[in-house]
Amino acid sequence: MILWLNGTFGAGKTTTAKELTSRIPESRLFDPEQVGYMLWHVLGQPREFQDFPPWRGLVVETARQVLDHVGGTLVVPQTVLNERYWHEIHTGLAKADIPVRHYLLHTDDATLVHRIETDTDPEAAGARQWRLDHLTDYNQALPWLREQAETIDTTGIPPSQVADLIEGSC
């Protein structure tokens, strides 16, 4: 099984994913960005790694092989704002007989901006403007995300409570 945590940068995906993997037996954090970093290394870094067609297929295949090898649950904190890309990934996982629970972690723009601007992670600080620049893309993707994912409003609640809500819905 895969628990896919979608939403924009600052919604709480990574923190919630870490909370979930600490609670769910035989669960692992699977970060598809690592697949993207590998592709940047191999293909160069001219664009968003999700725009590389191999990224989507490799995410599916890597998840399938990891689950075949160890079983359990993969918790995936990955923003996917392109509906076609999400469809490719979801279809690939379905063809591999991997059940997916898709969650949209959502909060209002003011909270997102505050979280992004006050994030103390050095890696996040370096990408602060990039993350802020993607809020428009996120807002444009909200209609299809709300249709295809179970929305959890993370405004004003800690990641542990978000994890409670996800656990309760599984």
Distance of CA 122 to the CA centre of its chain: 20
Output the pTM of the full model: 0.90
Q: What is the pLDDT of residue 128?
A: 67
CA distances 24 to 95, 144, 164, Å, are: 25, 29, 11
Per-residue pLDDT, averaged over 93-120, amounts to 88
Per-residue pLDDT, averaged over 132-150, amounts to 90
Among the four given CATH numbers 3.20.190.10, 3.30.720.120, 3.90.700.10, 3.40.50.300, the one describing domain 2-169: 3.40.50.300
Contact 49, 36 (CB under 8 A): yes
* Digit-coded pLDDT (tens) for 152-168: 999 889 999 999 999 98
* Distance, CA of 130 to CA of 71 (rounded, Å): 35
The structural domains of the chain, with segments of one domain joined by +, span 2-169
Contact 56, 88 (CB under 8 A): yes
pLDDT above 80: residue 45: no
Contact 103, 150 (CB under 8 A): yes
Q: What is the pLDDT of residue 111?
A: 84
In this prediction, residue 170 has a pLDDT band, given cuts at 50, 70 and 90, of: confident
